[in-house]
Structure 1
Amino acid sequence: MSDNNNQNGGGGESEFSHGMFQRERRDTMESQASSSSEFSDFSTENEDPLDSRRLDILASDEETDQDNAETTFPNVIQRSTTFERVLSDAIIHQAPIDELKVILEAGAKLIDPVARRPNPLHYTVWQRYPEAAHLLIQQGYDVNALDDFDCSALHLAARHGYTDMVELLIKHGATINYNTIETEDTFPVDAVDEPLRLAIKHGHCDVALILLENGANPNSRYFFGSEINLINPLKPEFLELLLLFGARVDEQDRNGLTPIMKACRLRKGMESLLLLLSYGGDVNIRADERHDHRTALHYAVLSGSLDIIMVLIDSGAQVRFEPDYNKPTPLHLAVRRGDIKVINLLLDVGAYVNSSTSLVGSVLHMACSEKVHNRLEVLELLLSRGANPNIVVQGLYGTPMLPPLGDYLAASDEHDLNVINLLLRHGTDVIMKSPQRSPLGLLNCVSALSQQPLVLEELLEGAQKFDLELIRNTCLLGTQERRLCLEVAGSPLSLRHLSRICLRHEPATARPDSVLKLKLPPIISKYLLYEIS
């Protein structure tokens, strides 16, 4: 580097390069939260442009440091800093090795071990100048010196995928593992990104391999989980690399999710799923309470991938859960999505059609209360497969939930008469009482039918029991609804209706298909199935 260059702007270039390097270093230590987010796109961020304001601050800080140096140790620190800056400038401009030797011989000192700033060795990595790095290490520069972002030269080399620099630094004793390998803290708050984490995060498989071959810990733990928990499921090559070097396949992250669960959440996660299964991954591990103790099958159902669901079932995934599970099952989720193929598949392999939870009720409750786009088709499937339309489920506070029909009436102000007819055909009891007096009571839901008198008339046609006193006195009924209810409740039930009720409550004739098998005139069969009045 010429003297003219140093006098006519070398200092400005140096400040520019130093500020740019500091900006580069800040990007290398991004938070681990970006790696573990459930809704992360797992993409590598582009480099930020140079922030001129930050450059001014850095330059100002250096001037302050030099002023302090002149005041305190003018003959030591200032001279060392000046020569170190000259050396850094030479490295940035990739000056020949001979010139770097001249600068070193002229007085550039080793970096102060207490200082935490980019030293010339960091600049050799940034410029990918292995010859200069080798020279500095020979001259005694600390290969493990950290900058003010706790980054070593190896961190920087791993982040950028510089295999030659990584190999050189490791050869000269660079530290590879910075976090405690065995720690009682499952999710340590003070863990720093390892060089391996940076190599994987930025897509450098060859660098990750070098680090692992030289002892990088494949199970290093961070605040959001282990190394394998932070891998994008759409990058199976990194999963396989970690597994080859001993990563634990069933490691759970901070939310209790395993790599298999994360792979099953994605429709394109089949390759990673098969890889994890080949290493013995457990498909029945459950997530934590915040995620409703879901299994991989839950997430596969949510993804809608029939192929992934079939692989999990073939691998022993649990489809029927214990009575005290009390969380939505995969069948609940399939019903919520209105996925007919998945519902059929789950029922075929043993899912319990009347499974229920105190939070959302039975699967029939789910179909009736949620906005299922193909509700009628889903209901018809569930009822034909044995779903109980009169199921009683205890709610969160120990009181019975509304019956499925009541849930349907309460869920909106618009009701499909076809849904009402379907539920009646399959034996739904219509009890015009309050829920406090009967767990199947629907009277409190009648107010939702104020704009749909035809629906109310259909329900009253199939009603079996009434609370006449409550109908007269309740404030939940409007004038028209009260009048219609009193007209029906005030008269004895017809003999044919009583016969229908009695016949439909017999197990042998409860289902519509069993009624059709009876040798009855068609008109009577239609009446029994609520197809005519």
Structure 2
Amino acid sequence: MILYILFIFMVSCSQPVNPDTPMPNTSTTENPLINDVKKNRIEAVEQALKKGADVNTRDSKGRTLLLLATHDALNDMAALLVKYGADVNRQDDIKDSPFLYAGATGQTQLVKLFLENGAKFNVFNRYNGTALIPACERGHVETVKLLANTRNFPIDHVNRLGWTALMEAVVLGNGSEKYQQIVRILKEAGCNLNIPDNDGKTALQHARASGYKEIVRILESE
């Protein structure tokens, strides 16, 4: 019986593959609209949207068309998508949204566009942070200025690490001119200077410990 089974197996393995037999599909076909956005084909995208294509189409990682445009700083494409109702707050699989990503990467023009088109301040990134906090960490002065002076923006929001925007500018910055500007902007916008981190240390204490004399002066001045 065993020999018979082996014989059948060997015969079946030796049979040629019928070229007309459909093979299993192991590849995934990306939505053409996604590809058009990535390649900045504005006319093609607009035509698709006019015909009823979903402006909030997502890719395999949950990224919307608008988030993909934001990733590549395609400002005109982003403006087109917003015009057709793209959601500036819709998050992908790692909790990035167009608004949050634009803030984190210092794309001030897009941040302004998204603020004017429904950006929500209670949608947070994977660190439970706002668009402002990573902007401070990365030294995006103009973006910080815009967000810090936006009405009702939660300037003192504390993220999962226990840090505010001010704390990130001090702890993760290097004390250089752009971080000095950011600290000044946050202070003038009315941020709370005394919110401590999870270890009970304030931004001022961190600035002193790091030897950031100008930031210390800014924080201590009236």
Shorter-chain TM-score range: 0.7 to 0.9
Q: Where does residue 85 of structure 2 map in the other structure?
A: 173
Q: Where does residue 230 of structure 1 map in the other structure?
A: 134
CA deviation after TM superposition for structure 1 residue 145, in Å: 1.5
Distance 1:202 1:261 in 2: 18
The residue identity in structure 2 corresponding to 1:284 is N
Distance 1:299 1:148 in 2: 42
CA deviation after TM superposition for structure 1 residue 156, in Å: 0.8
The residue identity in structure 2 corresponding to 1:267 is G
Q: Is the CA contact 2:136–2:182 (under 8 Å) kept in the aligned structure 1?
A: no
Q: 1:298 to 1:117 in 2, by over 3 A?
A: farther
- Structure 1 residues 27-78: Cα deviation after superposition (integer angstroms, max 9, x where no partner): xxxxxxxxxxxxxxxxxxxxxxxxxxxxxxxxxxxx63389xxxxxxxxxxx
Q: Where does residue 4 of structure 2 map in the other structure?
A: none
Q: 1:197 aligns with which of 82, 100, 112?
A: 100
Q: Where does residue 137 of structure 1 map in the other structure?
A: 49
CA deviation after TM superposition for structure 1 residue 211, in Å: 1.4
Q: Is the CA contact 2:102–2:111 (under 8 Å) kept in the aligned structure 1?
A: yes
Q: 1:117 to 1:272 in 2, by over 3 A?
A: farther
Q: 1:304 to 1:66 in 2, by over 3 A?
A: closer
Q: 2:157 aligns with which of 241, 248, 251?
A: 251
Q: Where does residue 376 of structure 1 map in the other structure?
A: none
| 1:283 corresponds to 2:193 | yes
Q: How does 1:80-91 map to 2 (within 5 A)?
A: none
Q: 1:267 aligns with which of 175, 181, 193?
A: 175
Q: 2:144 aligns with which of 231, 235, 239?
A: 239
- Specify which structure has the higher proportion of helix: 1
| 1:313 corresponds to 2:220 | yes
Q: Where does residue 11 of structure 2 map in the other structure?
A: none
Q: Is the CA contact 1:261–1:295 (under 8 Å) kept in the aligned structure 2?
A: yes
Q: Where does residue 163 of structure 1 map in the other structure?
A: 75
Distance 2:29 2:195 in 1: 45
The residue identity in structure 2 corresponding to 1:264 is V
Q: Where does residue 211 of structure 1 map in the other structure?
A: 114
CA deviation after TM superposition for structure 1 residue 199, in Å: 2.4
Q: 1:310 to 1:244 in 2, by over 3 A?
A: closer
CA deviation after TM superposition for structure 1 residue 223, in Å: 3.0
SS at match of 2:25: helix
Q: 2:25 aligns with which of 58, 65, 69?
A: 65
Q: How does 1:96-111 map to 2 (within 5 A)?
A: none
Q: Is the CA contact 1:219–1:226 (under 8 Å) kept in the aligned structure 2?
A: no
- Structure 1 residues 378-436: Cα deviation after superposition (integer angstroms, max 9, x where no partner): xxxxxxxxxxxxxxxxxxxxxxxxxxxxxxxxxxxxxxxxxxxxxxxxxxxxxxxxxxx
Distance 2:26 2:197 in 1: 55
Q: 1:312 to 1:169 in 2, by over 3 A?
A: same
The residue identity in structure 2 corresponding to 1:263 is A
Q: Is the CA contact 2:106–2:140 (under 8 Å) kept in the aligned structure 1?
A: no
SS at match of 1:64: coil
- Which structure has the larger Rg over C-alpha atoms? 1
The residue identity in structure 2 corresponding to 1:140 is G
CA deviation after TM superposition for structure 1 residue 191, in Å: 6.0
Q: Where does residue 10 of structure 2 map in the other structure?
A: none
Q: 1:66 to 1:308 in 2, by over 3 A?
A: closer
The residue identity in structure 2 corresponding to 1:135 is Q
CA deviation after TM superposition for structure 1 residue 219, in Å: 4.4
Q: Is the CA contact 2:106–2:142 (under 8 Å) kept in the aligned structure 1?
A: no
Q: Is the CA contact 1:236–1:272 (under 8 Å) kept in the aligned structure 2?
A: yes
Distance 1:235 1:204 in 2: 9
Q: 1:118 to 1:224 in 2, by over 3 A?
A: same
Distance 2:149 2:218 in 1: 23
Distance 1:280 1:232 in 2: 15
The residue identity in structure 2 corresponding to 1:301 is R
Distance 1:223 1:207 in 2: 21
Q: 1:272 to 1:219 in 2, by over 3 A?
A: farther
* Count of aligned pairs: 192
Q: Which has the higher contact order (CA 8 A, sep 6+)?
A: 2
CA deviation after TM superposition for structure 1 residue 313, in Å: 2.2
Q: 1:263 to 1:170 in 2, by over 3 A?
A: same
- Please list every run of 5 or more consecutive structure 2 residues that lacks an aligned counterpart in the other structure: 1-22
CA deviation after TM superposition for structure 1 residue 136, in Å: 1.1
Q: Is the CA contact 1:117–1:148 (under 8 Å) kept in the aligned structure 2?
A: no
Distance 1:154 1:167 in 2: 9
CA deviation after TM superposition for structure 1 residue 148, in Å: 1.1
Distance 1:196 1:117 in 2: 28
The residue identity in structure 1 corresponding to 2:155 is V
